[in-house]
Amino acid sequence: MEEVNQQPVDQSPVPPAVQPASRLRVEASKFIQLFKRNPLKSLVILLTAIILLQIIFLPYGNVKQLKTKNPGETAFMREYADRAKKENRPFHKKQNWISFKSIPQDAVDAVVVAEDGTFWWHGGFDWFEFKESVERNFEEGRAARGASTITQQLVKNLYLSSSKNPLRKLKEWILTWYMEQQLSKSRILEIYFNVIEWGDGVYGIEAASQYYFDKSASDLNRDECTRLAAIIPSPRKHRADVDSKYVLRRSKLILERMEARGM
């Protein structure tokens, strides 16, 4: 009978598969060692990674959907509602969406003149206003003048916050550029006119028109349009239907600019 020559069986233990948790601990240990050797370089790498991740996960898809879909509750609405809750104040949102064609031309002209004079021509940024703003703020040592375009204001309103930290500003610039690539100017304005705040809990021009003048936005006259445009920078401080010094002066200035442009 022929003897079968069997190979000896390897009895050495099979190393267990590295589990995700174990792998994470290993990588964390490596980073800690690197941090100890070169803390400054490690901190720069970590901060860069965090910033890149935040940029990668910006709501690009939501911006693209705005071509055909109206936005729901904005970041500013949520922020103000949360603040009211913490302060035990009531928050009642008033908002009625209207189409761009229902917004009076005088309202469009007044808001563009007041908030972003080169809106129809720039690609999301007014670099001249930005330069002027930086120079004035540097001279006065405070944020005395803003330079945000209508598109920048809309991006901040929809997705970001009122914070002024540099990372928030970087996100705003990126989304502003992307929004200008995806949406037409009229669509940007349509959304802007429907979501910006025009009073305590009053969002959009239709709600503002009903609130201040007891009429639909489509029936606003020229004076009422300039008054609404006048209070956009501080809608909780001023009322469009009150003849305050601020409203009279600013609405008169807006009207003069409109007339100078043949509007």
d(CA 212, CA 223): 13
What's the pLDDT tens digit per position in 140-165?
A: 555 544 679 999 999 999 999 877 78
Phi/psi for 203 (5° steps) reads -120, 125
Share of the chain above pLDDT 70, in %: 81
What's the pLDDT tens digit per position in 192-211?
A: 999 999 999 999 999 999 99
What pLDDT, on the 0 to 100 scale, is given for residue 162?
79
Overall CATH class of domain 60-260: mainly alpha
What's the pLDDT tens digit per position in 58-86?
A: 999 999 999 999 999 999 999 999 999 99
Q: In b/e form, how buried is each residue of 96-130, taking b as 16+ CB within 10 angstroms?
A: ebbeeeebbebbbbbbbbbbbbebeebebbbeebe
What's the pLDDT tens digit per position in 212-244?
A: 999 999 999 999 999 999 999 999 999 999 999
> In the chain, where does the domain assigned CATH 1.10.3810.10 lie?
60-260
Mean pLDDT, the chain, whole residue set: 86
What pLDDT, on the 0 to 100 scale, is given for residue 258?
97
What pLDDT, on the 0 to 100 scale, is given for residue 113?
97
Is there a contact between 130 and 149 (Cβ–Cβ < 8 Å)?
no
Residue 96 has pLDDT above 60, yes or no: yes
Alpha helical stretches, state H, the chain: 20-37, 39-56, 60-65, 75-86, 105-115, 127-140, 150-159, 166-182, 185-195, 205-213, 222-230, 245-260
Phi/psi for 98 (5° steps) reads -130, 155
Share of the chain above pLDDT 90, in %: 65
- Work out the average pLDDT over 12-38: 63
Return all residues near 136 (Cβ < 8 A) that are at least 6 apart.
144, 145
Nearest to 158 by CA among 134, 137, 187: 187
Quick one: tokens of 204?
């959009």
Question: How many CA atoms are closer than 13 Å to the CA of 194, on its beta-carbon side?
Answer: 20
